[in-house]
Structure formats: C-alpha cells, structure tokens
C-alpha cells in the first residue's frame, strides 16, 4: 500500500516521541473496530433501554364509589383502570379500602402489604379494627400505619371528589402517618 511507503518517507530523522508504524496501525485498527461496533450496537442499546426513558403516563382518575356511601368503617372497593403495557392494553381490576376520617376527609389505602406484597384484609377475628395480613401477620391501623412486621405504612391512592363521587388516582406513599 502506498500509504505505508508514505508513512516511512515522512519519518523524520530526528528522534521524537513518535508512534511506531505498528502502533499507528493498531490505533487505526482499534478506531475502525470501535466505529463498526458502535455504529451497529449503539442503536440497539438505545432500543433496549427505551422503557426507562419512555415518558411515564400519569395515571388517570377512575370513578370508584359514591361519596355518600363512604363511612368511618373501611370499605373494600373494586375498580378498573385502563392500562397500556406496550402493545397490550387491558383493564385490570384494582382494589382499595376507602374510609372517611373524623374531619370528613376521604382516604383510600392500597390492599398490598408493605412486607412482602400479600393482600391485607380489614378487621378479621384475629385483629379487630386493624388491617391484617394473612401471610406473616403484619398489622396496620385504620390510617394504614404499620404496627407489626411491615416496615412501612400502606400506600395511599390519590383521591379526588367530584359531583358526589370519589375518584381514585395513582398510588403514592402514605401521607397520613
């Protein structure tokens, strides 16, 4: 190749910090290799990490129960949310325990135990007036405060009241305890 010869003729007789021919070739080789690998793989990496860079859709509020039916005794309410998971759209059932406190504020707790994710129940024989988790006996009070086993209080749904109905939104950490 002529550029090899060029390489040699342009060699200056003065000894300076110069690359040897072999080093130069190795660096060019590394560069070309990196370009090829990068050109092919970078788009794929971006493709693979897309889920963490996708804009998270804010959960919509869903009509759950009439305001007048909410009492100071927790009530189990089933409701459906529309969920888009990639190419799969579904309407999974969700559950909430809805209660009115002394000031008349309505709050809704998630039934998922903060210990290991089992489903809690209200006021069984074992734990009157408490939330009880059947798996490892975690207990929460009416506000969702963790009393036993569980490390954190129960999550809370965002609540919106409109025209006499209670609307439930996305989950957030408990704000009451």
Residues found near other proteins in the complex (CB under 8 A): 1, 22, 25-26, 28-29, 32-33, 35-36, 39-41, 43-44, 46-48, 50, 53, 86-88
Query: How far are the Cα atoms of 104, 112, 120, 153, 166 from residue 61, in angstroms, in the given order?
Result: 20, 19, 23, 23, 9
CA-based nearest residue to 76, from 97, 100, 92? 97
- In this complex, which beta carbon is closest to other proteins, that of residue 86 or of residue 128? 86
CB of 96 to other proteins, least distance (A): 29
CB of 18 to other proteins, least distance (A): 17
- In this complex, which beta carbon is closest to other proteins, that of residue 50 or of residue 102? 50
- In this complex, which beta carbon is closest to other proteins, that of residue 60 or of residue 147? 60
88-90 vs 165-172, strand pairing mode: unpaired
């Amino acid at each position: 190749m002529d550029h090899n010869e060029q390489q040699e003729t342009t060699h200056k007789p003065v000894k300076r910090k110069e690359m040897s021919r072999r080093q130069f070739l190795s660096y060019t080789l590394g560069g070309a290799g990196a370009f090829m690998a990068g050109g092919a793989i970078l788009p794929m990496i971006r493709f693979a990490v897309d889920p963490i860079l996708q804009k998270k859709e804010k959960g919509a509020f869903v009509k759950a129960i009439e305001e007048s039916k909410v009492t100071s005794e927790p009530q189990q309410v089933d409701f459906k949310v529309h969920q888009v998971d990639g190419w799969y759209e579904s309407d999974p059932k969700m559950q909430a325990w809805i209660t009115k406190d002394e000031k008349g504020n309505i709050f809704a707790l998630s039934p998922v135990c903060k210990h290991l994710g089992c489903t809690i129940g209200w006021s069984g024989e074992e734990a009157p007036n408490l939330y009880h988790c059947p798996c490892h006996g975690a207990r929460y009070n009416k506000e969702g405060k963790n009393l036993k086993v569980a490390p954190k209080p129960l999550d809370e749904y965002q609540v919106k009241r409109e025209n006499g109905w209670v609307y439930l939104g996305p989950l957030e950490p408990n704000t009451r305890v």
